[in-house]
Amino acid sequence: MESDAIWGHIDEQRLSLADLIESLGADQLATPSLCSGWTVRDVAVHLTHSHTRAGRVLFEAAKSGFRFDAMVRRLAIEDRADAHTVAIRLRSMVGSRRHPIGTTELEPLLDTLVHGQDIAVPLGIDRHMPADAAAAAAHRVWAMRFPFHPRRDHRGIRFVATDSALDLGHGQVVEAPTRDILMLFAGRTGAAGELLDLSR
């Protein structure tokens, strides 16, 4: 997928997520997300942190003993922004081409797609995920070893999407929508549905 198309998807996701988050009530924002130990509000706030300056990231990383997961969770919890503020931040990010230090433009795409489901699924909201964007994100996750390692975790399986050209892995063929494959690769077993059982 070309760069302009990737950023176009990111912008669309940020705008729709801003609308969604702004529409949620207090109980919904306090609902546990698909990220263990994170509420829907925490995940929403985290999405606005991808524009954090490199110097601040290094400072916060050192503060957390250079433990990435601990750092991002701490920052999300410490940031007490309400839903309206989060929505404003997300809308202000539209059109930007910044991404976190040490990452590619595919990371913001991955974040918006997966975290959008982290928010929506526990609330019973069927959030659309464009298949072409999901396929690009799935290819990115497939190449990772941290924080996800799907090549290792799903060795001996060939994942074939039913709604895109995505075709990854070798072995037993498992067919599923691209969204489900991406969520499984990203460790979201609660959003992978029957795909989890088929991939075991």
Q: Which residue has tokens 């912008």?
A: 11
In the predicted model, what is the mean pLDDT of residues 154-159? 94
1, 136 contact by CB (below 8 A): yes
pLDDT digits (tens, 9 = 90+) for 42-73: 999 999 987 655 555 554 445 545 456 666 77
For the sheet with 157-161, list strands across it: 167-169, 157-161, 172-176
> Is the pLDDT higher at 99 or at 155?
155
pTM of the model: 0.87
175 neighbors 190 (Cβ within 8 angstroms): no
Nearest to 76 by CA among 119, 27, 126: 119
For helices 131-142 and 106-120, angle between their N-to-C axes, nearest 10 degrees:
110
Q: Tell which wins on pLDDT, 177 or 147.
A: 177
Least confident of 20-24, 25-29, 184-188: 184-188
pLDDT of residue 145: 87
Mean pLDDT of 4-21: 98
pLDDT score recorded for residue 136: 98
- For residue 59, the model assigns a pLDDT of 44
**Three-class SS of residue 176?**
strand
Q: Is the dihedral of CA 110, 61, 77, 70 positive or negative?
A: positive
Helix axes 3-23, 106-120, angle to 10 degrees: 30
Going by C-alpha positions, the residue among 155, 40, 60, 133 that lies closest to residue 100 is 60
Mean pLDDT of 88-107: 90
Bridge partners, 39 (sequence order): 32
Q: Which of 105, 187, 109, 191 is nearest to 154 (CA)?
A: 187
Average pLDDT of the chain is 87
